[in-house]
């Protein structure tokens, strides 16, 4: 059932920012209260079947409901044209996630939430993040039937790559999924190893089908990816200026990328879009656009290409409280 929310007005504003060869304006979309609620902690966006799908982390350990949300693209188009138009939405239940999380626990791994998804309608693939000490993340598969997702009760374990000292990268999972040549490709959040890889599997979830495809070193985090044209993809490349274990995402003082995240003696948040190109079983990349400074302090976790731009969403973290989930259309 499609729901309408009362009393909230869409605001649209534009900011021009040029970086590399791109020039974008930013349009803010006011979300219905149920969707903008901070504890959804969105972690992915997908476009399929005429809709924009939004994926919360579905933190079952916090008694969150397993669900997706969807909004018709035609409604978003109308919303962007007319700020008085109230944005309808649908809630889509995910069935079977609780039993899969129990299987993960039985394998002595710690389910944290859903971190990425990709829709090849009606099939949906989900990436599960686990806590830092856990050695594996997981890939799940389900089917969209009307307004429900039914998960197959099969887990594909994917071993986390390790740092040179043998430790697991803090708070890192497979944050992006792409379908390329009928195979599922999983992008790890941290790609600054001396040799970094994207892991590829066939749709049967046969663990022996794994292929490791090199990706050029990418500093900071990759938090989501979307297909654009041909063999090109756009990813969110994000740096959070946190202390403690988060410092693993900093680069060496002599690294040329250090100037992007360092201001004097202090680190600062930094976020950009990068173009990732797939060619001959190898991934290369180049920067395309830097988020204006005020937007660097949102934790952007989802991206979906649409027309000549992108929908982009944060999990919940914003520069000021109260936290909320913010959806942008950047074009």
| Domain boundaries defined on the chain | 44-74+89-302
- Between CA 102 and CA 164 the distance in angstroms is 32
Q: How far is CA 297 from CA 10, 158, 287, in A?
A: 22, 31, 19
Quickly count: other Cβ atoms within 10 Å of residue 269's Cβ: 18
Find out whether 90 and 5 touch, Cβ atoms under 8 Å. no
- Of 329, 327, 289, 328, the C-alpha closest to 309 is 329
Q: Beta strand 232-239 with 196-202: parallel, antiparallel or unpaired?
A: unpaired
Specify the DSSP element, H or E, that contains 97: helix 97-106
Total H helices, total E strands in the chain: 4, 26
Stretch 203-209: mean pLDDT: 95
Stretch 233-261: mean pLDDT: 97
The CATH class of the 44-74+89-302 domain is mainly beta
Q: What is the pLDDT of residue 64?
A: 96
Q: Which of 3-7, 132-136, 246-250 has the lowest mean pLDDT?
A: 3-7
Residue 15: pLDDT band by 50, 70, 90 thresholds?
Answer: very low
- Between CA 293 and CA 300 the distance in angstroms is 13
pTM of the predicted structure, to 2 decimals: 0.93
- Cβ neighbours of residue 293 under 8 Å, at least 6 residues apart? none
- Between CA 150 and CA 319 the distance in angstroms is 36
Find out whether 118 and 36 touch, Cβ atoms under 8 Å. no
Stretch 237-256: mean pLDDT: 97
Specify the DSSP element, H or E, that contains 80: helix 73-81
Quickly count: other Cβ atoms within 10 Å of residue 13's Cβ: 8
- Between CA 96 and CA 119 the distance in angstroms is 18
Mean per-residue pLDDT over the chain, rounded: 93
Is a pLDDT exceeding 70 seen at residue 199? yes
- Between CA 331 and CA 311 the distance in angstroms is 9
Find out whether 38 and 326 touch, Cβ atoms under 8 Å. no
């Amino acid at each position: 059932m499609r729901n309408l929310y009362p009393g909230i007005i869409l605001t649209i504003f534009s900011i021009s920012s040029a970086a590399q060869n791109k020039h974008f304006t930013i349009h803010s979309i006011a979300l219905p209260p149920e969707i903008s609620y901070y504890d959804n902690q969105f972690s992915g966006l997908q476009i399929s079947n005429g809709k924009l799908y939004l994926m919360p982390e579905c933190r079952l350990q916090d008694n969150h409901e397993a669900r997706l949300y969807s909004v018709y693209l035609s409604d978003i188009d109308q919303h962007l044209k007319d700020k008085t138009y109230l944005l309808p939405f649908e809630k889509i239940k995910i069935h079977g996630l609780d039993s899969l999380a129990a299987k993960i626990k039985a394998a002595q791994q710690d389910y944290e939430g859903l971190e990425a998804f990709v829709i090849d309608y009606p099939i949906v693939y989900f990436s599960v993040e686990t806590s830092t000490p856990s050695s594996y993340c997981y890939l799940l598969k389900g089917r969209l039937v009307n307004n429900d997702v039914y998960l197959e009760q099969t887990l594909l374990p994917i071993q986390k790559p390790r740092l040179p000292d043998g430790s697991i990268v803090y708070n890192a999972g497979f944050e992006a999924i792409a379908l390329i040549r009928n195979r599922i490709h999983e992008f790890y959040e941290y790609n600054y190893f001396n040799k970094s890889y994207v892991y590829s599997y066939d749709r049967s979830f046969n663990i022996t089908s794994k292929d490791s495809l090199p990706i050029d070193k990418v500093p900071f985090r990759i938090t989501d990816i979307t297909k654009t044209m041909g063999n090109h993809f756009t990813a969110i490349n994000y740096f959070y200026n946190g202390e403690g274990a988060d410092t693993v995402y900093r680069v060496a003082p002599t690294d040329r990328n250090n100037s992007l995240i360092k201001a004097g003696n202090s680190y600062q948040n930094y976020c950009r879009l990068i173009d990732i190109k797939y060619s001959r079983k190898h991934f290369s990349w180049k920067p395309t656009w830097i988020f204006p400074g005020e937007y660097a302090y949102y934790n952007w976790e989802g991206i979906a290409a649409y027309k000549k731009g992108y929908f982009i969403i944060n999990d919940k973290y914003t520069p000021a409280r109260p936290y909320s989930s913010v959806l942008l259309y950047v074009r």
